[in-house]
């Protein structure tokens, strides 16, 4: 456990450019405090000391604003940035090298004592305010966009946005050595609504062009018909004058 906590300490400096010293982690990083207290609470939980573990978890919630049930299984190098309002349920399972931001919920969708919380695989990033609900699986190296609500499982290397969350991009992200890249960039997350509206706009533009072409063709036909009618009238008039 202490080796795991040491890795949790070290990973803060790797993923937070605002860090100035190791002392800041000890004194001013609630995400680190929350995970340390959870490691302790989880150890007590596994020994059957459920009430004591829940009390340790409650103290962690009071101090940090982050609620992690002691039954949740969390892997190595877990990083919670800012953290206020994070909720992680009892049967949640989190892999290694996962990063989550403030306001994230890993919630359940059942009142039964079953697997009812998400499984987050290795190297997943979940941005601010996102909710992953139910016993779904988020595949490794995936990203869940800010404010998204994910209620279905998604494969590895997915980018998920929207309510309900939908996969809008699938792309592998690895270094040449195979080590996972921790991608914290949320600025390039696609907007499926904007994409759909853009497609509708393009379709409307094509329809307008077709209507314009048909109108021009109809105008030409009407003009031609008027010329033919005038010519026929001239011929009739000439015939009448000849008969006279």
Same structural domain, 179 and 222: no
> Cα(82)–Cα(134) distance, rounded to whole angstroms?
24
* Domain boundary pick from 145, 161, 189: 189
Same structural domain, 212 and 178: no
CATH number at residue 153: 2.160.10.10
Element (H, E) at 186: none
Residue 75 vs residues 24, 144, 235: alpha-carbon distances, Å: 23, 19, 96
Same structural domain, 118 and 85: yes
Range of the domain at 204: 191-244
Q: pLDDT of 42-83, one tens digit each?
A: 999 999 999 999 999 999 999 999 999 999 999 999 999 988
Same structural domain, 111 and 221: no
Number of domains in the chain: 2
Same structural domain, 104 and 170: yes
Inter-residue contact 76 to 96 (CB < 8 Å): yes
Mean pLDDT in consecutive groups of 10 residues from the start of the chain, 244 residues: 84 85 89 94 94 95 95 94 92 94 93 92 92 94 91 91 84 50 59 73 80 71 68 70 62
The pTM assigned to this predicted structure is 0.74
Same structural domain, 212 and 148: no
Same structural domain, 166 and 221: no
Same structural domain, 180 and 196: no
* Domain boundary pick from 174, 189, 204: 189
Same structural domain, 197 and 109: no
């Amino acid at each position: 456990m202490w080796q795991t906590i040491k890795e949790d300490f070290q990973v803060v400096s790797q993923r937070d450019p605002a860090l100035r010293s190791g002392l800041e982690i000890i004194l001013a990083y609630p995400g680190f405090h929350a995970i340390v207290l959870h490691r302790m609470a989880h150890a007590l939980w596994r020994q059957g000391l459920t009430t004591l573990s829940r009390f340790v978890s409650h103290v962690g919630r009071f101090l940090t604003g982050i609620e992690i049930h002691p039954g949740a299984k969390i892997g190595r190098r877990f990083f919670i940035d800012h953290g206020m309002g994070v909720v992680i349920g009892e049967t949640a399972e989190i892999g290694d090298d996962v990063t989550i931001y403030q306001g994230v919920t890993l919630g359940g969708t059942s009142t039964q004592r079953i697997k009812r919380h998400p499984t987050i695989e290795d190297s997943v990033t979940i941005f601010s305010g996102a909710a992953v609900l139910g016993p779904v699986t988020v595949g490794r190296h995936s990203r869940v966009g800010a404010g998204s609500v994910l209620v279905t499982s998604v494969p590895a290397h997915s980018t998920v946005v929207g309510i309900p969350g939908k996969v809008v991009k699938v792309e592998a992200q690895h270094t040449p050595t195979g080590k996972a890249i921790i991608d914290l960039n949320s600025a390039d997350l696609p907007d499926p609504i904007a994409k759909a509206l853009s497609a509708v706009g393009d379709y409307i533009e094509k329809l307008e062009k077709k209507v314009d072409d048909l109108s021009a063709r109809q105008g030409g036909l009407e003009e031609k018909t008027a010329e033919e009618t005038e010519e026929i009238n001239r011929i009739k008039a000439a015939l009448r004058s000849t008969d006279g």
